[in-house]
Amino acid sequence: MIRPLAPEAVQVVWFKRDLRVADHAPLLAAAARGPVVCLYVVEPEALARDDFDPVHLGFVLESLEALDRALAPLGVRLSVRVGRLPEVFEGLWRERPFAALHSHQETGVRWTFARDRRVARWAEARGVAWHETPQDGVARGGRRGVHGAAGLACPPLPAPTRLRPALGYATGRVPSLRDLDLPPERVRDRQRGGATLAEGLLAAFLARRADGYRGGVSSPVDASVAGSRLSPHLAYGTISVRTVLHAVEAARRRAAEAADGDARPAGHPSADDALRAFAGRLRWRRDRIAELEAAPRLEFEAVAPDAGAGAARPFDDERFAAWAEGRTGFPLVDACQRVLRDTAWVNFRMRAMLASFATTRLGLPWRAVGLHLARSFLDYEPGIHWPLVQRSAGAAGPAARAVFDPVRQARAHDADGRFVRSQLPVLAAVPDAYVATPWRMPRAVQRAVGCVLGRDYPHPVVPPAPRAAPAPA
């Protein structure tokens, strides 16, 4: 008697914040073991969180469309389902039992810990092996070890050359915001999602823009060009940190070969200086994510609860609205909020200034400030975001506080008012001497330039500091 062949063990690849096919260890492992289901789950639990904004999901949905296009030539299509986990996995398993679940370990906010514990219990009950792989040098719980510097030193993995589709499962297309009953995005000019765009940004940065990195990333005027602009792609995993680091190292080698014998004046910045600084920032990013992973309570609890960081103060709705809407009367603050409204991005130094001003000058609670900024940033990465907000607010203790005075920052990084004027046309004719401090403008000058405080531009929402604090290094 001839026994029928046992069906091949189906492998499910669960995509989360890793929306790519290159340098994707779970996808390669699944491809080697059997037919594959490539799955992304839109979780209503995530959409209901107070740090969520449709701008985040808009980027993700574009990245899912790009991921589906990348998977199609390999032999499979992406299936997108909507629901709570592990109930979505249970529904998939009832359509046809599968043998294994493959995913990257997710780092980030506390609720993912609880969700993953539910998934682990379900997998154990169903006899499904769940293979989790750390990514970007950080393992869940903040453990680095071989997943830290050594893991990032390994070459990026290639994309699979072929995937065998698993049959017997209902497909699910990428939904729209309207399909999910979400409002349209509020941002008119944000970055777009997808691995191809991430790869193009990296190539352009290394070929043409990296030389300006060290001198330009602190400037609200120059940072959009001097920076890599990879932050949303790293946050949602359309490109891996390891891929970026290895590309940077290759660019450093090419720069060293090109500079061989090229005598530069002493102290002249080299291409290698900029690339080394950028690589250092990526490793700093890894360490901050590991810090939050090791202490996820930092999302909710101040490191130094008695540091006077505004947690117990009455909430001032008027001040919060003025800050969030960009009408504080402090031009650099208002300009940054306007550009955030339109693009969902400002550079890192301006983020610290916004958080510092809101908490230390306006007395707003650090959690409320942090949640608004989390919703505002397209590239919201919790491991970077919450330590920044706590430090800016003094919630990490007085010794760790970083005070970013908006007047001093404007003088240091927007001395001619180019950035402020680009976002606040009402200040276009204000003389350079007053563009950072319009409240110092004599009334006759205000009338002459068509910028009368209280009519055309608001008075400061709080009294200006008598003397601007030194700018942090």
Amino acid at 406: P
* Residues 145-177 as b or e (16 or more Cβ within 10 Å = b): eebbeebbeeebbebbeebbebeebeebebbee
- Closest of 12, 165, 183 to residue 101, by C-alpha: 12
Cα 307 to chain centroid, rounded: 28
- pLDDT tens column, 108-119: 888 998 999 999
Q: How far is CA 298 from CA 45, 251, 329, in A?
A: 21, 37, 32
pLDDT at 469 over 70: no
**Tokens 């706590």 sit at which residue?**
390
Distance CA 303, CA 401 (A): 12
- pLDDT tens column, 118-132: 999 999 999 999 999
Domain pair 11-153 / 195-296, same fold: no
- pLDDT tens column, 138-179: 888 766 554 555 678 889 999 999 999 999 999 889 999 999
Q: Where are the alpha helices (DSSP H) in 76-163?
A: 87-95, 110-126, 149-153
Q: Angle at Cα 81 formed by Cα 76 and Cα 86, nearest 5°?
A: 110
At 317, list the tokens.
């709705």
Q: How much is the pTM? A: 0.92
Distance CA 445, CA 238 (A): 51
Domain ranges of the chain: 11-153, 195-296, 317-449
Distance CA 77, CA 68 (A): 6
Distance CA 409, CA 19 (A): 36
At 153, list the tokens.
């030193």
Show Cβ contacts of residue 69 under 8 Å, excluding neighbours closer than 6 positions. none
Residue 8's pLDDT band (cuts 50, 70, 90): confident
Residue 295's pLDDT band (cuts 50, 70, 90): confident
Which CATH architecture best describes the domain 11-153?
3-Layer(aba) Sandwich (3.40)
Phi, psi (deg, nearest 5) at residue 165: -75, 140
Distance CA 425, CA 429 (A): 8
**Domain 317-449 in CATH 1.10.579.10:** yes
pLDDT at 2 over 80: no
CB atoms within 10 A of CB 301: 13
Out of 5-14, 262-271, 276-285, which region has the weakest mean confidence (pLDDT)?
262-271
- Closest of 362, 346, 349, 355 to residue 389, by C-alpha: 355
Partnered with residue 165 across adjacent β-strands are 36
At 344, list the tokens.
């969902």
Phi, psi (deg, nearest 5) at residue 142: 85, 5
- pLDDT tens column, 367-401: 999 999 999 999 999 999 998 899 888 877 665 56
Helix or strand run (H / E) with residue 47 = helix 44-47
**Tokens 């589709």 sit at which residue?**
165
CATH topology of domain 195-296: 1.25.40
54: cis peptide before it, omega within 30°? no
